[in-house]
Amino acid sequence: MIEQDHDGYVMISNLHTEKGSDGTTKLVSGTIHINKDLAGKAIDISVIGQDSSVVATTDYVFIADQDINPPKTGDNRTFQTQASLNGEIMAYHIIVRDLYRYEHFTDYLYAMNGAPMNLMFGPPSGFSGQLSVDQINRFFVRLDNTTQHAWTVSPVNMELEVYKSNEQNQELELVYSYKLPTINGTIDTKSGYYMAIPWNQRGNDGQFISPGRYLVKLSRPDTITYLQADSKEVQTYTVETDTRHPWKFFVEYVK
């Protein structure tokens, strides 16, 4: 089975699934042929179930060696991915989009202290303090509009950084950094930007990290300026740093 996105960026084949210990089916890997430049793009694979509805969508697609050898037009490579579902797979639907996914919500989002936005950074699902050095680990960033009005945000520049640490939780040597695309422009009410950041534990030196304690953090501005629709007054939001809005956490990477 060969699947292709509507815009002809990629062709995907050899999709491989595994049975999870919880009885779910897990989509884990495949092969990709690249027809167009993927710079600044992300790939979603939606799984279609028996009733022709989407039953799961991949959290990321990580193309082999994309961190040290960006995919080029004409390449054939393997990739790793992650999606879990119950039931039978009938088909797949491929979408190639910008790295940030623009999302809409059915209701207004809750914000502490009436804040106009949520800037959130998080670890992989189910994170309990440990991650494997041998697996792709997906972090995420999101910026949501929590007001009843659209607003235009000034450029927001952020970077994922990973440092060696120790039992004293000190920030030691920088081993990895990834600059996120700039968020800029209008975000509608009940909407926001989401970006998955998969990492294969390869550092800036091209070598995979060793097991041990690390600090993973989001380098982000302390304040964000924005202009609400129908207003000429530029406002400033001070980014919250409470436990609901963490911007760093410690990880024990294990084999």
pLDDT of residue 114: 76
pLDDT of residue 21: 86
Could you tell me the sign of the dihedral formed by the alpha carbons of 105, 108, 112, 115, in that order? Answer: positive
Q: What is the pLDDT along the chain (255 residues), one digit of tens a residue?
A: 899 999 999 999 999 999 988 889 999 999 999 999 999 999 999 999 999 999 999 999 999 999 999 999 999 999 999 999 998 999 999 999 999 999 998 877 665 567 899 899 999 989 999 999 999 999 999 999 998 899 999 999 999 999 999 999 999 999 999 999 999 999 999 999 999 999 999 999 999 999 999 999 999 999 999 999 888 899 999 998 777 778 999 999 999
3-state secondary structure of 90: coil
Residue 173: how many other CB atoms lie within 10 Å: 9
pLDDT of residue 111: 59
3-state secondary structure of 186: strand
Distance CA 119, CA 246 (A): 9
pLDDT of residue 115: 86
pLDDT of residue 113: 60
Residue 136's closest CA among 122, 124, 121? 124
Q: Which sequence spans correspond to the domains of the chain?
A: 3-98, 102-254
**Of 2.60.40, 1.10.540, 1.10.260, 1.10.1740, which CATH number belongs to 3-98?**
2.60.40
CATH architecture type of domain 102-254 = Sandwich (2.60)
Q: What is the DSSP string of 33-81?
A: EE-S--TTEEEEEEEE-TTSSEEEE-S-EEETTTTTS---TT-EEEEEE
Whether this model's pTM surpasses 0.95: no
CB 178 within 8 A of CB 204: no
User: For residue 171, what are its two tokens?
Assistant: 């920030």
Distance CA 195, CA 143 (A): 9
Q: How do 248-254 and 130-132 pair as beta strands?
A: parallel
Tell me if 3-98 shares its fold with 102-254: yes
Contacts of 35 (CB under 8 A, 6+ apart): 8, 9, 10, 11, 73
